[in-house]
A and B are shown apart, each in its own frame.
Chain A
């Protein structure tokens, strides 16, 4: 499973990362005013959350070993 870490201290709550995710891995926590990683199992390391965080507080670490479908 890919690992997504968010430095919530650096985060300014702009929400860009939550919008950027095309498979709804990230979710907005209204109470804490911060993004949360809700469904890391669905992350496909497009990196758009990481690239579009202007505060550079997201790191996506892909786990390529989970991509092991059988082609034979």
Chain B
């Protein structure tokens, strides 16, 4: 393979993990636990142990408390959350085995809060009778995991972005990318590859900023199937001034006339935020009843979340307290001009598109490629008709990341051990990928900046009328905007290696947005998180289906697949 060297540094591993957030770290550790003889390499765009979302979030783990039965969780989920779009077999496996995540984290040196008697310390959501509870983990989990992984012999390559997958025929044979500081091309050859590169969040909300969909785009370009791409339009209600999340705002919204509007849009049992909160906000504005405000004194969750996040009254979590109190202190300064008792809220678009299709072993449709954590959360289909994370259960992001990472790593380790020789990589194939990745760095003369394209894609995603209150006409308009942005990708110009990473991310964002609208146009009904103004009802006769997307002859091919409900215990 000497000739590959002429393209860049070639590195080999038995198992390559793309992305060193919590899912990537958990996967790397699990491979080493299963088979210490396997060489495991984690490649991370920033610095593994510090990178990713896990240590910038709530640090809340939704698990089944001793009072919660897995069967009740499954039934509740199918009826109230995923609305029959779940893979019920995988959902049931999740319900029966997800609690093991707490034991694994604990064994790997992560601090999950315990009672004095040794049991996991947990709380139930105030005012909600749901079959799960919330445990707390401190926000230094990834640093602890990296230390543990290094002790087991996992190797790390930081500040390298892997952009495309290397292939030998259909089989994935590693990945190619470049150093985000030195700009040097790197090729990693591997027997098995695990994608753990997170979801697509379009760089809108600050703390979700690292989710730029690289792994989704890489898998798509390599020919992998995508599923449930139409659910990637997660929003939280956020403070208008600071754009910080106001937890629970959706249940205490008032319009400018002083009318309480939450129940108008969110009737019945609502375990978490739904798309209708943002739709309600939009319709109140449309009718001239904006701005929408939240009555803070009613919002138990906000008071509760401050207690949960930034104090040690419930859980002793020094890193979490440092993170949240610093963030809220600075946000508070920005919010000081607004009415504290009734702050204005706006929808904060997040996205959380996570459509890489995986089976029960977290294997993608391409041999040798596995996908774990946020990159394949919706694609795994256990969560059904919701953007995931959090899938309308806050606290499942971290749980799924570790749970799916363990499953995927065990499968990948087995595959790598039996795979024989490292798969061959054809130089011409690798050179063509390199050409595409580096094109913006070589462009001379005038060009388009990555941020220009990103802004255009954001303009097609953030408005509620496009991505959450959907209609055929408005989605066609948004798709047109996305295609226009896509049309500029060939003119992207990068100023330096960091900017080259942004250019490749802009490609991913345009691709994910296109996928979102093509899948959304296909689904002609409303279900779960998915709301259409022109098809407001759930249509079980026609739409108990998954929408599957893959590349065919350079085009995005959209098809549907019946959900095998006949074999599932819970029927509509």
Q: A39 with B498: in contact, given A48-B56, A64-B243 (CB under 8 Å)? A: yes
Q: Which residue of B lies closest to A65 (CB)?
A: B334
Interface residues of A in 11-68 (CB under 8 A from B): 18-24, 27, 38-39, 41-42, 44-48, 50-51, 60, 62, 64, 67
CB distance from A53 to the nearest CB of B (A): 12
CA distance A20 to B181 in the complex (A): 16
Q: Which of A27, A67, A72 contacts B285 (CB 8 A)?
A: A72
Q: Is the CB of B334 within 8 A of A20?
A: no
Q: Is the CB of B347 within 8 A of A71?
A: yes
B7 contacts partner chain A, Cβ-Cβ < 8 Å: no
CB distance from A16 to the nearest CB of B (A): 9
Q: Which of B47, B206, B323, B458 contacts A51 (CB 8 A)?
A: B323
Residues of A within 8 A of B47 (CB): 18-21
Q: Is the CB of B50 within 8 A of A20?
A: yes
Q: Which of A19, A38, A64 contacts B334 (CB 8 A)?
A: A64
Q: Is the CB of B243 within 8 A of A70?
A: no
Q: Which residue of A lies closest to B282 (CB)?
A: A72
B462 contacts partner chain A, Cβ-Cβ < 8 Å: yes
Q: Which residue of A lies closest to B239 (CB)?
A: A64
Residues of B within 8 A of A60 (CB): 330
CB distance from A40 to the nearest CB of B (A): 12
Q: Is the CB of A67 within 8 A of B50?
A: no
Interface string of B187-210 (1 = CB under 8 A from A): 000000000000000001011011
- Number of chain A residues close to chain B: CB under 8 A: 27
CB distance from B474 to the nearest CB of A (A): 12
CA distance A23 to B285 in the complex (A): 35
CB distance from B414 to the nearest CB of A (A): 32
CA distance A41 to B203 in the complex (A): 12
Q: Is the CB of B241 within 8 A of A47?
A: no
B105 contacts partner chain A, Cβ-Cβ < 8 Å: no
Q: Is the CB of B334 within 8 A of A50?
A: no
CB distance from B23 to the nearest CB of A (A): 15
CA distance A54 to B154 in the complex (A): 28
Q: Which of A21, A47, A72 contacts B463 (CB 8 A)?
A: A72
Residues of B within 8 A of A70 (CB): 459, 462-463
Interface string of B239-256 (1 = CB under 8 A from A): 001110000000000000
B346 contacts partner chain A, Cβ-Cβ < 8 Å: yes
Q: Is the CB of B463 within 8 A of A22?
A: no
Residues of B within 8 A of A51 (CB): 322-323, 326
CA distance A72 to B379 in the complex (A): 29
Q: Is the CB of A64 within 8 A of B242?
A: yes
CB distance from A49 to the nearest CB of B (A): 10
Residues of B within 8 A of A22 (CB): 46, 50-52, 56, 209-210
Q: Which of A20, A64, A72 contacts B464 (CB 8 A)?
A: A72
Q: A46 with B50: in contact, given A64-B331, A70-B463, A71-B462 (CB under 8 Å)? A: no
Q: Is the CB of A19 within 8 A of B49?
A: yes
Q: Is the CB of B282 within 8 A of A71?
A: yes
Residues of B within 8 A of A46 (CB): 56, 206-207, 323, 327
Residues of A within 8 A of B334 (CB): 62, 64
Residues of B within 8 A of A45 (CB): 206, 327, 330
Residues of B within 8 A of A67 (CB): 206, 242-243
CA distance A47 to B323 in the complex (A): 7
Interface string of B451-472 (1 = CB under 8 A from A): 1000000110011110000000
Q: Which residue of B lies closest to A19 (CB)?
A: B47
Residues of A within 8 A of B56 (CB): 22, 46, 48
CA distance A38 to B56 in the complex (A): 22
Q: Is the CB of B50 within 8 A of A24?
A: no
Q: Which of A22, A41, A47 has the most CB of B within 10 A?
A: A22
Q: Is the CB of A48 within 8 A of B327?
A: no
Q: A71 with B278: in contact, given A24-B498, A51-B323 (CB under 8 Å)? A: yes
CA distance A69 to B243 in the complex (A): 10
B494 contacts partner chain A, Cβ-Cβ < 8 Å: no
Q: Is the CB of B45 within 8 A of A24?
A: yes
B349 contacts partner chain A, Cβ-Cβ < 8 Å: yes
CB distance from A37 to the nearest CB of B (A): 12
CA distance A41 to B459 in the complex (A): 19
Of the A-B pairs whose beta carbons lie under 8 Å apart in the complex, a sample of 5, sorted by A's number, is: A22-B51, A23-B46, A23-B209, A23-B210, A62-B330
Which A residues are closer than 8 A to B by beta carbons?
A: 18-24, 27, 38-39, 41-42, 44-48, 50-51, 60, 62, 64, 67, 69-72
3 residue pairs, one from A and one from B, having the closest CB atoms: A44-B206, A64-B334, A67-B243
Given contacts A18-B47, A24-B501, 18 further A-B contacts (CB under 8 A): A19-B47, A19-B49, A21-B47, A22-B46, A23-B209, A39-B498, A44-B206, A44-B207, A45-B206, A45-B327, A45-B330, A48-B50, A48-B56, A51-B326, A64-B241, A71-B346, A72-B285, A72-B464
